[in-house]
Amino acid sequence: MTQINSAQPRHDWTLPEVEALFDLPFMELVFQAATVHRAWFDPSEMQISQLLSVKTGGCAENCGYCSQSAHFKTGLKAEKLMEPAVVIAKAKAARDGGAQRFCMGAAWRELKDRDLPKLAEMIGGVKALGMETCATLGMLTAEQAQQLKDAGLDYYNHNLDTGPDYYADVVTTRTYQERLDTLAHVRDAGMSTCCGGIVGMGEMRRDRAGLLHQLATLPAHPDSLPINGLVPISGTPLGDQILADDAKAIDSIEFVRTIAVARIVCPKAMVRLSAGREGMSRDLQALCFMAGANSIFVGGKLLTTPLPGQDEDSRLFQDLDLRPMAMTKAVLAPETVAAE
């Protein structure tokens, strides 16, 4: 049986080792993941984030899961980049509702220099509210990453989506290496990385292991690691595939396994239970938290897909004796938190 001898981060994981974690008996895997979690975090604390789509639809990418792609007819209307004052007002409302981090997402293949001044104003305004800032804006150059850092951006999200072997079944308009290059630019600029993927797209367990292996062998582990469950959207290739044959969707227990393995191989990351949470039972969410997830999105909507309402989340927190992570802990390095 594979045993975790240390909760210290490793960057030399092999794919067979990650696959062996997935193959552990379920109870043993969750126990080991929970043990690693407790080495770095208080298991009763949860980071609260909110995500706003600041530029919706019309994306040139052909990601097979995405309602915002211009390649698919999903009924989503393309919109222009929002004005900074509107974004900042929504961030204030999110903060007043308990969110600690505010994420801004734009449906672009890559960031254009002409949009940087508006984005810098948004970032600065959110930062002034005392919130952690995050953005996902597509591919970046090294210069753009530095400008975002200079504007005050704390985190940049750029997901790998899936393992390298399944990637071509998900998107063909951007290479895996281009995603890795953007992450390198973000790290080199001194920003924290937010990087994870999507499960339930028809991939196999080996592909999920491949995704986590990629994340665990990056030069620096993601500071935030979102695990998204596919929300099948009619009109998208992957959504239509799952809607036509739900046997290709991920099993709930397999989803928890993915959370647990993510916690073990990236022990210091905020493992975020992201898209798909609205369709999860309270029991499943509780299992995910037990297996090491310690971050969620709130606010009723994640870009274009639904999230549970605030009242529902409040009841879940109350029943599970969870509390929001203190802002000082949310922004401190995990080593500092563990040492307290």
Active-site residues: which are they? 59, 63, 66, 103, 134, 194, 272
Is the separation of the CB atoms in 315 and 323 below 8 Å?
Answer: no
Count CB-CB contacts under 10 A for residue 79. Answer: 14
For residue 247, give the DSSP letter: G
Which pairs count as long-range contacts for 24-28, CB under 8 Å and 24+ apart, including other chains? Answer: 25/1, 26/253, 26/256, 26/257, 28/1
From residue 117, alpha-carbon distances to 13, 38, 55, 81, 142 in Å are 41, 41, 15, 12, 17
Is the separation of the CB atoms in 215 and 266 below 8 Å?
Answer: yes
Count CB-CB contacts under 10 A for residue 321. Answer: 7
Q: Where are the beta strands (DSSP E) in 124-258?
A: 132-136, 155-157, 192-194, 197-199, 224-229
